[in-house]
């Protein structure tokens, strides 16, 4: 396969103003064959570019965060990327969740279940990490499949 053919086999998916702009040299999503690989999504609002679910002190430091609000923000950003590729949450086959604090698992899991409560929900891995970019306390990356489509 030539380099031109290889490049034709992959296509970037960027939802424009429906999702926060990428903060680095990456695509929100990349279609390769029948799969969409979605970059880790944080909880930044597409409208403001600021992370949601935070309480800041007078100096702008985080004094508290709401993992449920942040989880909803992340999953809405994920939905935006999927929609830009003409997919839905039902097309997601694998999810990796990064939590800044595993003590947030139960609260995040309750919100997650509201989005993925259908039959044949995707596989999922949840890990705790030392730090996430920006003021995120959760990040989610996913793989979706264009099943039954041409």
pLDDT grade for 21, boundaries at 50, 70 and 90: confident
The tokens describing 80, both together, are: 């935006």
Is 150 part of any domain?
no
pTM of the model as a whole: 0.89
Q: Per the domain annotation, does 110 fall within a domain?
A: yes
In a domain, 57, yes or no: yes
CATH number at residue 94: 3.30.1330.40
Asked if residue 41 is part of any domain, the answer here is yes
Residue linked to tokens 């891995």: 125
Is residue 86 assigned to a domain? yes
| Total of domains in the chain | 1
The answer to whether residue 21 sits within a structural domain is yes
pLDDT in tens, 93-117: 999 999 999 999 999 999 999 999 9
Q: Within 13 Å of residue 35, how many CA atoms lie on the same side as its CB?
A: 8
The model's pLDDT over 57-71, given as tens digits with 9 standing for 90+, comes to 999 899 999 999 999
Residue range(s) defining the domain that contains residue 69? 9-145
């Amino acid at each position: 396969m030539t380099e031109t053919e290889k490049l034709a086999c992959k296509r970037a998916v960027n939802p424009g103003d429906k999702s926060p702009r990428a903060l680095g040299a990456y695509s929100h999503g990349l279609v390769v064959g029948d799969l969409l690989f979605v970059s880790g999504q944080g909880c930044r609002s597409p409208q403001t570019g600021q992370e949601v679910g935070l309480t800041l002190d007078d100096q702008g430091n985080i004094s508290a965060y709401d993992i449920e609000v942040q989880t909803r923000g992340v999953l809405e950003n994920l939905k935006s990327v999927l929609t830009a590729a003409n997919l839905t949450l039902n097309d997601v086959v694998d999810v990796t969740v990064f939590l800044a604090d595993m003590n947030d698992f139960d609260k995040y899991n309750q919100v997650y279940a509201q989005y993925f409560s259908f039959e044949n929900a995707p596989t999922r891995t949840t890990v705790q990490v030392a730090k996430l970019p920006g003021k995120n306390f959760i990040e989610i990356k996913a793989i979706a499949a264009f099943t039954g489509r041409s």
